[in-house]
Structure 1
Amino acid sequence: MKSAREALATGRKTRDELAFLPAALEIVETPPSPTARLTAVLLAALFCCAVAWAGLGKIDIVASAPGKIVPGDRVKLVQPLEIGVVRAIHVRDGQTVKAGEILIELDPTSNQAELQHLKNDLLASLLDIARTRSALDSNISALDGAPDDTPPALIQMHLEYLRSQDSEQRAKLSELDRQRVQKVAETKTIDASIAKIEALLPVLQERVNVRKYLADREYGSKLQYLQELQELVGMQQDILVQRSKLQEANAAVAALVETRAKLISEYRHRLYDDLAKATQKAGSLKDEVSKAEHKTNLQKLAAPIDGVVQQLAVHTVGGVVTPAQTLAVVVPSDSLIEIEAMVSNRDIGFVHPGQDAEIKVDTFNFTRYGLLHGKIVSVSPDSVSRDRPRDSAREPNAAATEESSEPKGQGPVYIAHVSIDRTKMVVDDKEISLSPGMTVTVEIRTGARSIMSYLLSPIVRYRQDALRER
């Protein structure tokens, strides 16, 4: 009743009256609804609040970097030095090993043959040194300094050679001594002849004087005088000849003495020269033997550290391996783990050590199992290509660079090392340890900006780049 009276007082028709009017009149006579006006006001207020929030509100700028979990001490590769044939395999994938434990044995036959050949050459050089020293010391009864493990047959052979060498030298010296004794005897004979002539000359001179005196006075025959004089002159010439022979004999003796000294000097010089050559050869062979022993020892591939064997690449005895081929990987058992993330060129300018990061482990859905937290430890000073393997000390093999979180063909990236706050995750009320090789996504907070800036950035970029194309 009250609403009807108010309608009559204001001249407005009630809802029931409007209902009996024709449709066109009903629309005309019906006053506008306040709900639409209220909705428009609310939408305008909401728009103003959104603009204010977009201008004042801040959101984080996050650099997303794919990566994977790696040991803090890096995995250790087991590689052969040279081509070889597998002789024995002593481990299997997942086996725990100790440092120095033999993992794989290669056939050492060729290396051992080369090593034995070098050892034989070294022993021969050492025996040459011992024989030469014994020859220099004139000791033909034993080899001075021969190795203790030398076979007796070799010792005897070198002793016989030493004695033959010494006998040859002694024979040469004996021949020179014999010639010298002969020449000395000749000098003595000549000396005796000279002494005899010198003793007869005064007597013969006296006889010539007597014969001359008698002949001058015609008491004696002049012919006898001339004969005596001829004999005197002959003896005087003989003494000159004998003295010349004596000089020749003395010179021959001196030459033989000098020849003997020269022969001894040349013999010792030759021995010293042989000793120097043998010593030099032995030193070189010792180095070669050490290298050959090292190569032979490397035919037994041992674990470099305590850890777990992974990625065993050989399973066939008799198989051939190539130099630097990765046969197995040893993951340190007591090493902490960290994350190796690949930061793109677009984000590297804002990433630096000390920044906080959130880590999503690909195998564990972060919406169910949560996130890991960490910090940037270091960033590589130079970029590396995603399309090529990185340092082999960091990558077990080339396949490791093709993880799902490391897409190829995206240009060079920078390597960031990220520490993590824990090494286990709770999955279905069980603690699961994180293991090297698990792929992750690292989200690094590099800054903040307003929502308005984020929304307007495509427009600003388009405005900057538009209408400039050729």
Structure 2
Amino acid sequence: MNRLFEEQKWNYYVSVIPIMIFFIIFLIWASFSEVDEVVRGEGKVVPSGQTKVLQNFEGGIISKILLTEGDKVKKGDVIYNLSNAFFKADLKTKEIELLSFEASAIRLKSSIANKKSIEFPQEMKDKIPDIIENEKRIFLEDLENRTRKIEIEKDKVSQKKLALKEAENKFDNLSLELNLAQSNMSILENLYKKKVVSRKEYLSELSKKQSIVTRLDETRNRLPILKEEIEEAKKRVESVKSEIRSKLLKQYSSLKIEINKLIEKNRANKDRDLRKFVVSPVNGVINKLYFHTIGGIVKPGDKMAEITPIDDTLTIEAKIKTSDRALVWSGQDVSIEITAYDFSKYGLLKGKLVSISPDSFEDRSGNVFYIAKIRANDYEFAPDLPILPGMVANVNILTGKKTIIEYILKPLKNIKRNALSEQ
């Protein structure tokens, strides 16, 4: 009997003690092991900005359609090519007009620098050969006219110098004549005193001497006048040169103003020319094309396409139950499952809770919820696996951590709390 009791006791220890040890170990593990406490929500990927409607303000004829609806685009990608024959002709006319003005400016600048020849860039020679030849002809004619005007004034200086030289020679000759006349008068005066010559002869010689003195004085007085006239003539030469240069500078200045105006107009025209390319203003997806036919006519202001923006940041709007509102706050970590891709294969995206709507919403079914805005750390799984607006997403917002023992005891706590209550 005792032996049987001992065997039963041993069997009890063998079966119960391991269970107790396992239970103790489980309690220890459950007390320290933590699991994530999450709030679940369902939502969808939303555009990072408002849908962009592309318009064309110039109009034209569609020459190319490079993309289709649903295509992913980057900022600057061309969607349509337009052509406008009238605008092209006007642009060409303005370009020729600008080159013509610039050729005239080169001519005037060469004239201002008093160059004897002129050269034009090869581009001008190729694009406006007739105008270049005309500018060369005008340059040579202008050079000839300027040279002639200056030479006329220089000739006047030469004439004045010649007159001065003649007056100086005349002064020298009259000075010699006066010396001779004075010598003769000295001799005649002695002879007159001695009554050798008559009074008439004496007075005649005296008159000749006085005539020489008068002409000598006139010539002496004329010399500074002639010198002053030479200086005036020289100043006139410089004045003519200055007038010519001033006139050229004035023409050049006026022409540069016109050139700058044309450059601004051409810059604006080139901007208009760039509008023949209808390009995407943002990274995104083509939501809608309004024209599908090559050769279609686009009027100024017509809508061309709609682009749904896709930024480098992925935004998700998820519905959160009102009962979970107290648990979720901005800055919490979020795990995101995009239902279009198998999460077991592609995994989950990580993100942050950015904001929560200040008030709740109610849908048609009567469900009340808050809107949580979540920003993902990545905007795609891979370049060939884009995440597009409208895709459904399941989100898990990490609100904290709990030990396993707390999860086990939670129902018991609820039973205890409700045990002595009555409805």
State TM-score, norm by structure 2.
0.63
Aligned residues of 2:336 and 2:348 also touching (Cα < 8 A): yes
Q: 2:104 is matched with which residue: 120, 124, 128? A: 128
Tell me, in whole angstroms, the C-alpha distance in 1 between the residues paired with 2:379 and 2:83: 46
Aligned residues of 2:284 and 2:309 also touching (Cα < 8 A): yes
In the alignment, which residue of structure 2 is the partner of 1:328?
A: 306
Q: 2:181 is matched with which residue: 193, 204, 216? A: 204
Aligned residues of 2:68 and 2:286 also touching (Cα < 8 A): yes
**In the TM superposition, what are the counterparts of 1:12-51 in structure 2 within 5 Å?**
none
In the alignment, which residue of structure 2 is the partner of 1:175?
A: 152
Label 1:239 to 1:374 Cα distance change in 2 as closer, same or farther (>3 A).
same
**SS of residue paired to 1:105:** strand
**SS of residue paired to 2:237:** helix
The CA deviation at 1:263 is 2.7
Q: Which amino acid aligns with 1:355?
A: D
Tell me, in whole angstroms, the C-alpha distance in 2 between the residues paired with 1:321 and 1:276: 38
**Following superposition, which runs of at least 4 residues in structure 1 exceed 6 angstroms of deviation?**
96-101, 304-307, 358-361, 419-423, 447-452
**SS of residue paired to 1:247:** helix
The CA deviation at 1:116 is 2.8
- Count of residue pairs brought into register by the alignment: 352
**SS of residue paired to 2:197:** coil
Aligned residues of 2:380 and 2:386 also touching (Cα < 8 A): no
**In the TM superposition, what are the counterparts of 1:3-402 in structure 2 within 5 Å?**
68-70=44-46, 79-80=54-55, 82-88=57-63, 90=65, 91-94=67-70, 102-109=78-85, 111-136=87-112, 138-139=114-115, 141-145=117-121, 147=123, 148-268=125-245, 270-271=247-248, 282=259, 285-286=262-263, 288-302=265-279, 309-315=286-292, 317-322=296-301, 327-329=305-307, 338-341=314-317, 350-356=328-334, 375-377=350-352, 379=354
Tell me, in whole angstroms, the C-alpha distance in 2 between the residues paired with 1:418 and 1:268: 71
The structure with the larger Rg is: 1
Aligned residues of 1:122 and 1:286 also touching (Cα < 8 A): yes
Unaligned 5+ residue runs, structure 1?
Answer: 1-59, 364-371, 385-403, 407-411, 424-431, 456-470
In the alignment, which residue of structure 2 is the partner of 1:47?
A: none
Label 1:451 to 1:124 Cα distance change in 2 as closer, same or farther (>3 A).
farther
Unaligned 5+ residue runs, structure 2?
Answer: 1-36, 341-346, 365-369, 402-409, 419-423
Tell me, in whole angstroms, the C-alpha distance in 1 between the residues paired with 2:379 and 2:227: 105
Tell me, in whole angstroms, the C-alpha distance in 2 between the residues paired with 1:173 and 1:93: 75
Percent of aligned positions that are identical: 17
The CA deviation at 1:378 is 5.6
Label 1:239 to 1:354 Cα distance change in 2 as closer, same or farther (>3 A).
same
**Structure 1 range deviating more: 285-294 or 181-190:** 285-294
Tell me, in whole angstroms, the C-alpha distance in 2 between the residues paired with 1:338 and 1:214: 137
Aligned residues of 1:211 and 1:225 also touching (Cα < 8 A): yes
Tell me, in whole angstroms, the C-alpha distance in 2 between the residues paired with 1:421 and 1:245: 101
Q: 2:390 is matched with which residue: 423, 430, 437? A: 437
Q: Which amino acid aligns with 2:177?
A: L
